[in-house]
Amino acid sequence: MNGYVVAANAAVWIALGAYAAYLALRGQGIAKRLQQLEMLRDSKDK
């Protein structure tokens, strides 16, 4: 396989994969945070 083709594909797929993983992990983090904040708000309301 040609080195240029490998380099271009590696750059593209690693970057896209890393961004998708970042979105997924950050999404999980923010979902947990939202749950905590909503529980806190509900406990205050009571």
Could you list the residues that contact other proteins (CB under 8 A)? 1-2, 4-5, 7-9, 11-12, 15-16, 19-20, 23-24, 26-27, 30-31, 33-34, 37-38, 40-41, 44
Shortest gap between Cβ of 19 and other proteins (angstroms)? 6
DSSP letter for 2, please: -
Distances (CA, A) of 7 to 1, 16, 30: 10, 14, 34
| Closer residue to other proteins in complex, CB, 4/46 | 4
Shortest gap between Cβ of 7 and other proteins (angstroms)? 5
Distances (CA, A) of 16 to 7, 9, 20: 14, 11, 6
